[in-house]
Structure 1
């Protein structure tokens, strides 16, 4: 594919990453309103949120096969349409069981589109020969920041039904524009991978490392899911923040993540992948302890921002390293574990909040960030701190 075609494809895939973050953040900042509307307890809300997890995990197990059969580009478009339509459904529910049912569909769209556009991005990264994966994840974070910021403004004046219906319209319009490029373009053929590393490594040890990288992705994505679903409620319920200020909590987190990912290539070149994971996990653990246990809104917001900076590049590095070891199957395993952590974490926090308290439950994010740090230390010699096989640095 010529350079111009790769550029157009990169823009289209970036738009889908950004839209995904935008729609997801638009939903999560209205969770406190939906909780009030459905008269759900914290535990019942956590159980309803399990619908997102269940729908996503079930779809993720099928999306890889669909991508192999029909191609990642059409699957991305179809799943994004499902996601855009389903985001308008939660305000129509009046009970926790009904909310959980519609979130099954929302989770199916979310899980499917994440696997599909990550597959499309992996093909493009390999074909371009440049480590541009952090830029796609930066677009997701930027979309999340925009969605949370708009949600904070909308929370003061618009009902959840009108706000989320507006997100559906925006989602369908962006999908129509960016989807045309995806549907016109075949996935680019990646160059041959250099076999040096994989040829000399023991197969079981290599698979074990892929699982470890997947666990790093899971630990860090758990924090993203927790911040998305519970950060606003923590600020509003435990620190008496207004609805607009509570929505700003996820915006601070998303902005910090965006900055971290936009500077991720330079950071990786300076520190290398293993030290980036170790340092990032340490920073995120400290930031989340502050965000969860701080006695004031502004200190908590600072903690959320520090957490975002720490977690920013851990997921992209984990997926990249899994792919360097085992190709597309490694990427699929790490992505599934990672998004599983993002989607299963929030319901777990809901149950822990019922047993203990929401601030105490949020410290589990810090604990898992510390686990990611330990995994980075233990497997530091398994990281490729130069360009991935088959790719040139730059």
Structure 2
């Protein structure tokens, strides 16, 4: 490992490499805090979707189009966020995006029409998309320094944040208005951003183990972490697209659970608002469990087998969750779905970042969140034409597609160091 505080050429946002165990631990904690914040804020909004739907008087189809604002804002911002990471560094970009996400979560309950809701969700989605690219890029650089597949741990923090946000939302749904709840959530998010952001900005991009240190956001750490067999640009771009497709199938499922799980339980199974919020909480909990054990799983099975097993498990779980006649079977299905999807997205994004740096993270994330772009209106329209349970079975179909794609590209993935 390089000597602590080794100096290197000055670049925007950094003047030394992070190489001491203490600095790496502080950096890991700060990045973990932003992943938690992302999940907590997003789930807090998700828990209040039914109330905001009633407030705006939107139909399921109109609500699906309004929810499209989150995904549209995110997808439109991600490639720009990759360029911002290369220009200013992933650390400052992470802090700025987190502040935008936290501040804008207070806006949806102030709207009274589906159109207005969609517009403010564009702003919310912009912060969400930029934060996901920036913090994942920061995580990829840290992984290069640690030389361990720890990306699932960061995404576990996102899932734990989602579980906490959904659980808290369910508890206070009958006691606080959406306006007061999401305003308090915004204050908390901005405070956490200030605390974690101070640490993140004070520590530059870590040097990859055995390297001389990358420039911020350049992706050098990711390039050093990638195996020689994938250095050819054309092949690297092809593999990034493959991992992006897997991310798309996964994000479709995550977005569907976030946007429609509570409504499905409340509308189709007739449960209370508080119990309906438990649907996403159970899903997020099992995603967290899967991701907390994700590093050990990847080290034991390798990427390909982990991806195939996860996609197959999620497909089976979502069929049960969507079609179960009782709340308890539906919750079991959601739990199995969360366990199956847990490591698909982290592996896809980490691998894309290892291949081409922030550009790979941005490209795979854009493809991935294309799933969230397609998910809300697709499920909304299918629910109008058929039923919400039938619409939710598309999550199972795409999880199966992810497993098939991972298996079909196993030789290329193995060459890439799977």
TM-score bucket of the superposed structures, by smaller chain: over 0.9
What is the CA–CA distance in structure 2 between the aligned matches of 1:179 and 1:357, rounded to whole Å? Answer: 44
Q: Which residue is equivalent to 2:173?
A: 155
Tell me by how many angstroms 1:59 deviates. Answer: 1.4
Normalising by the residue count of structure 2, what TM-score does the alignment of the two structures yield? 0.89
Which residue does the alignment assign to 2:214? none
Shift of 1:278: 0.8
Distance 1:175 1:78 in 2: 9
Partner of 2:270: 240
Structure 2 residue 390 is the aligned partner of structure 1 residue 342? no
- The match for 1:129 among 130, 135, 147 is 147
> Aligned partners of 1:31, 1:193: CA distance in 2, in Å?
41
Query: How many Å apart are 1:268 and its aligned residue?
Result: 1.5
* Pairing of 1:262-281 with structure 2 (within 5 A): 262-281=292-311
Mind listing any 5+ residue stretches in structure 2 that lack a counterpart? 1-17, 212-223
Distance in 1 of aligned mates of 2:310 and 2:150: 19
Which of 170, 193, 205 lines up with 1:187 in the alignment? 205
Alignment partners' CA distance in 2, 1:183 and 1:325: 25
- Return the match for 2:122 from 90, 104, 117: 104
How far 1:385 sits from its partner (Å)? Answer: 8.6
1:82 aligns with 2:100: yes
Matched ranges for 1:22-171 at <5 A: 22-171=40-189
Question: 1:192-341 maps to which residues of 2 (within 5 A)?
Answer: 192-193=224-225, 196-199=228-231, 203-341=233-371
- TM-score of the pair, normalised by structure 1: 0.94
Indicate yes or no: 2:355 matched with 1:355: no
Report how far residue 131 of structure 1 moved. 1.5
Seen in structure 2, the aligned counterparts of structure 1 residues 386 and 107 have a Cα distance that, compared at 3 Å, is: closer
* Contact 2:65/2:376 (8 A) holds in 1: no
Structure 1 stretch 327-336 or stretch 354-363: which is displaced more?
327-336
RMSD, aligned CA: 1.6
Aligned equivalents of 1:57, 1:347: Cα separation in 2: 15
* Cα drift, residue 194 of structure 1: 6.2
Matches within 5 A, 1:366-381: 366-381=396-411
Q: Cα distance 1:50–1:283, how it changes in 2: closer, same or farther (>3 A)?
A: same
- Shift in alpha-carbon separation, 1:88–1:327, aligned structure 2, 3 A: closer
After superposition, give the CA deviation of every residue in 1:217-246 in whole Å (9 maximum; x if it has no partner).
110111001000100000001100100100
Runs (4+) of structure 1 moved beyond 4 Å? 385-388
What does residue 178 of structure 1 align with? Answer: 196
